[in-house]
Structure 1
Amino acid sequence: MLNPWPHALSVAVALATLASPALVQAQSLSFNLPAGPLAQTLNAIASQSGRIVSLDPVLVQGKQAQAVSGQMPAERAMDRALAGSGLQLRVTGQGNFSVEPAADSGAALQLGVTSIAAHSIDPTITEDSGSYAARAVTIGKGTHTLKEIPQSITVMTRKQMDDQGLVDLKDAVNQTTGLVGVQGVGKGMIITSRGFQIDDWQYDGVPIPRNTYALGNWATQDLIFFDRLEVLRGASGLLQGTGSPGGAINLVRKRGQAAPTVALTAKAGSWDHYGLQLDAGGPLNQSGTVRGRMVADEDQSDSFIDYEWSKTHSLYGALDFDLQEDTTLGLAVSRTNAESRPMLRGLPRYASGKSIDLSRSTFTGSRWNHSQIDVTTLYADLEHRFNDDWKFKVGAVRMKEENTSTHQRVQTNNEGIEADGSGVSYADWYTDFDGTKIGLDTHLTGRFEALSMAQEITLGGNYSKYTTNDIIARTFNDSADNIFDINNHRPEVTYESLMNTPGGRATPSKYDIRQKGLYGSWRVKPIDPLTLVLGARVSWYDYSYTSSGITAVTHATTVNKPSTTNETGEVTPYAGIVYDLSREWAVYASYTDVFEPQTQRDLSGAVVKPVIGSNYEVGLKGELLDGRVNTSLALFRYDQENRAITDYSLGEICGGTYCATGSGKVRSQGLEAEISGEVLSGLQLFAGYTYNTTKYLEDRDNKGRVFSQWTPKHMLRVWSDYQFSGDWSKVSAGLGFTTQSHTLGYEYTYDVAGYTVWNARLAYQMTPEVGLAVNANNLFDKTYYASGYNQLNGNNFYGDPRNVMFSVKYTPQF
Structure 2
Amino acid sequence: MINRWPHALSVAVALATLASPALAQAQNLSFNLPAGPLANTLNAIASQSGRIVSLEPALVQGKLAPAVIGQMSVEQAMDGALQGSGLQLRITGQGNFSVEPRIDNGSALQLGVTSITEHSVDPTTTEGSGSYAAQAVSIGKSSHSLKEIPQSVTVMTRKQMDDQGLVDLKDAANQTTGLVGVQGVGKGMILTSRGFQIDDWQYDGVPIPRNTYALGNWATQDLIFFDRLEVLRGASGLLQGTGSPGGAINLVRKRGQAAPTVSLTAKAGSWDHYGLQLDAGGPLNQSGTIRGRMVADEDQSDSFIDYEWSKTHSLYGALDFDLQEDTTLGLAVSRTNAESRPMLRGLPRYANGDPIDLSRSTFTGSRWNHSQIDVTTLYADLEHRFNDDWKLKVGAVRMSEENTATHQRVQSTGAGINADGTGLTYADWYTDFDSTKAGLDMNLTGHFEALSMAQEITIGGNYSKFTSDDVIARTFNASTDNIFDIDHNRPEISYESLMNTPGGSATPSKYDIRQKGLYGSWRVTPIDPLTLVLGARVSWYDYSYTSSSIKAVTHATTVNGPSTTNETGEVTPYAGIVYDLNREWAVYASYTDVFEPQTQRNLSGAVVKPVIGSNYEVGLKGQLLDGRVNTSLALFRYDQENRAITDYSLGEICGGTNCAVGSGKVRSQGLEAEISGEVLSGLQLFAGYTYNTTKFLEDPENKGRVFSTWTPKHMLRVWSDYQFTGDWSQVSAGLGFTSQSHTLGYESTYDVAGYTVWNARLAYQLTPEVGLAMNANNLFDKTYYASGYNQLNGNNFYGDPRNVMFSVKYTPQF
TM-score (norm 2): 0.97
Distance 1:390 1:93 in 2: 28
Identity of aligned residues (%): 87
Which residue is equivalent to 1:416?
A: 416
Deviation at 1:658, TM superposition (A): 1.0
Which residue is equivalent to 1:402?
A: 402
Distance 2:225 2:200 in 1: 19
Which residue is equivalent to 1:116?
A: 118
Distance 1:482 1:240 in 2: 48
Q: Does structure 1 residue 392 correspond to structure 2 residue 392?
A: yes
Which residue is equivalent to 1:609?
A: 609
Which residue is equivalent to 1:4?
A: none
Deviation at 1:23, TM superposition (A): 5.1
Which residue is equivalent to 2:4?
A: none
Which residue is equivalent to 2:100?
A: 101
What code does the residue aligned with 1:627 have? G
Q: Secondary structure at the match of 1:366?
A: coil
Deviation at 1:536, TM superposition (A): 0.4
CA contact (8 A) 2:8 2:56 kept: no
Distance 1:57 1:514 in 2: 52
Runs (5+) with no aligned partner, structure 1: 1-6
Which residue is equivalent to 2:443?
A: 443
Deviation at 1:464, TM superposition (A): 0.3
**Map 1:144-183 → 2, pairs under 5 A:** 144-183=144-183
CA displacement, residues 416-452 of structure 1 (integer Å, 9 cap, x when unaligned)? 0011111000100000000000000010001011111
CA displacement, residues 348-405 of structure 1 (integer Å, 9 cap, x when unaligned)? 0000000000000000000000000000000000001111111100000000000000
Identify if the C-alpha distance between structure 1 residues 260 and 610 changes in structure 2 by more than 3 Å, giving closer, same or farther.
Answer: same
Deviation at 1:649, TM superposition (A): 1.7
CA contact (8 A) 2:406 2:429 kept: yes
Distance 1:778 1:724 in 2: 24
Identify if the C-alpha distance between structure 1 residues 61 and 660 changes in structure 2 by more than 3 Å, giving closer, same or farther.
Answer: farther
What code does the residue aligned with 2:548 have? S
CA displacement, residues 758-777 of structure 1 (integer Å, 9 cap, x when unaligned)? 00000000000000000000
What code does the residue aligned with 2:667 have? R
CA contact (8 A) 1:687 1:718 kept: yes
What code does the residue aligned with 1:751 have? D
Which residue is equivalent to 2:137?
A: 137
Q: Does structure 1 residue 550 correspond to structure 2 residue 557?
A: no
Q: Does structure 1 residue 777 correspond to structure 2 residue 780?
A: no
Distance 1:9 1:70 in 2: 26
Distance 1:296 1:28 in 2: 38
Deviation at 1:13, TM superposition (A): 3.0
CA contact (8 A) 2:10 2:52 kept: no
Q: Secondary structure at the match of 1:10?
A: strand
Distance 1:57 1:714 in 2: 55
CA displacement, residues 681-708 of structure 1 (integer Å, 9 cap, x when unaligned)? 0000000000000000001110000000
CA contact (8 A) 1:15 1:46 kept: no
Deviation at 1:168, TM superposition (A): 0.4
Which residue is equivalent to 1:631?
A: 631
Which residue is equivalent to 1:232?
A: 232
CA contact (8 A) 2:19 2:50 kept: no
Which residue is equivalent to 2:538?
A: 538
Identify if the C-alpha distance between structure 1 residues 778 and 640 changes in structure 2 by more than 3 Å, giving closer, same or farther.
Answer: same
Q: Does structure 1 residue 726 correspond to structure 2 residue 726?
A: yes
Which residue is equivalent to 1:476?
A: 476
Deviation at 1:80, TM superposition (A): 1.1
CA contact (8 A) 2:46 2:53 kept: no
**Map 1:516-595 → 2, pairs under 5 A:** 516-595=516-595
CA displacement, residues 200-226 of structure 1 (integer Å, 9 cap, x when unaligned)? 000000000000001100000010000
TM-score (norm 1): 0.97
Deviation at 1:789, TM superposition (A): 0.4
What code does the residue aligned with 1:184 have? G
What code does the residue aligned with 1:399 have? M
CA contact (8 A) 1:353 1:416 kept: yes
Which residue is equivalent to 1:55?
A: 54
Deviation at 1:150, TM superposition (A): 0.5
Distance 1:709 1:60 in 2: 58
Distance 2:21 2:272 in 1: 53
Q: Secondary structure at the match of 1:147?
A: helix
CA contact (8 A) 1:663 1:699 kept: yes
CA RMSD of aligned residues (A): 1.6
Deviation at 1:650, TM superposition (A): 1.6
Which residue is equivalent to 2:220?
A: 220
Q: Secondary structure at the match of 1:649?
A: helix
What code does the residue aligned with 2:354 have? K
Identify if the C-alpha distance between structure 1 residues 500 and 483 changes in structure 2 by more than 3 Å, giving closer, same or farther.
Answer: same
Identify if the C-alpha distance between structure 1 residues 521 and 330 changes in structure 2 by more than 3 Å, giving closer, same or farther.
Answer: same
**Map 1:319-338 → 2, pairs under 5 A:** 319-338=319-338
Distance 1:35 1:25 in 2: 23
CA displacement, residues 461-487 of structure 1 (integer Å, 9 cap, x when unaligned)? 000000000000000000001111111
Deviation at 1:75, TM superposition (A): 1.5
CA contact (8 A) 1:520 1:535 kept: yes
Q: Secondary structure at the match of 2:382?
A: strand
Deviation at 1:67, TM superposition (A): 1.5
Identify if the C-alpha distance between structure 1 residues 455 and 14 changes in structure 2 by more than 3 Å, giving closer, same or farther.
Answer: closer
Which residue is equivalent to 1:368?
A: 368
Which residue is equivalent to 1:82?
A: 82
Distance 1:415 1:719 in 2: 40
Aligned residues between the structures: 803
Distance 1:243 1:280 in 2: 36
Which stretch has the larger CA shift, 65-74 or 644-653? Answer: 65-74
Which residue is equivalent to 1:803?
A: 803
Distance 2:472 2:484 in 1: 29
What code does the residue aligned with 1:384 have? H
Deviation at 1:42, TM superposition (A): 2.6
Which residue is equivalent to 1:197?
A: 197
CA contact (8 A) 1:14 1:43 kept: no
What code does the residue aligned with 1:101 have? E
**Map 1:784-795 → 2, pairs under 5 A:** 784-795=784-795
Deviation at 1:609, TM superposition (A): 0.1
CA contact (8 A) 1:87 1:99 kept: no
CA contact (8 A) 1:17 1:51 kept: no
Which residue is equivalent to 2:740?
A: 740
CA contact (8 A) 1:775 1:805 kept: yes
Q: Secondary structure at the match of 1:163?
A: helix
**Map 1:490-501 → 2, pairs under 5 A:** 490-501=490-501
Deviation at 1:36, TM superposition (A): 1.1
**Map 1:339-354 → 2, pairs under 5 A:** 339-354=339-354
Q: Does structure 1 residue 241 correspond to structure 2 residue 241?
A: yes
Q: Does structure 1 residue 754 correspond to structure 2 residue 751?
A: no
Distance 1:520 1:57 in 2: 46
Identify if the C-alpha distance between structure 1 residues 607 and 93 changes in structure 2 by more than 3 Å, giving closer, same or farther.
Answer: farther
Identify if the C-alpha distance between structure 1 residues 39 and 151 changes in structure 2 by more than 3 Å, giving closer, same or farther.
Answer: farther
Which residue is equivalent to 1:311?
A: 311
Distance 1:53 1:14 in 2: 10
Which residue is equivalent to 2:3?
A: none
Which residue is equivalent to 2:646?
A: 646
Distance 1:57 1:541 in 2: 56
CA displacement, residues 5-27 of structure 1 (integer Å, 9 cap, x when unaligned)? xx996321342557665554334
Q: Secondary structure at the match of 2:238?
A: helix
What code does the residue aligned with 1:109 have? G
Which residue is equivalent to 1:128?
A: 128
CA contact (8 A) 2:712 2:740 kept: yes
What code does the residue aligned with 1:15 have? L
CA displacement, residues 304-348 of structure 1 (integer Å, 9 cap, x when unaligned)? 000000000000000001111111110000000000000000000
Which residue is equivalent to 1:464?
A: 464
CA contact (8 A) 2:599 2:608 kept: yes
Identify if the C-alpha distance between structure 1 residues 62 and 377 changes in structure 2 by more than 3 Å, giving closer, same or farther.
Answer: farther
Q: Secondary structure at the match of 1:497?
A: helix
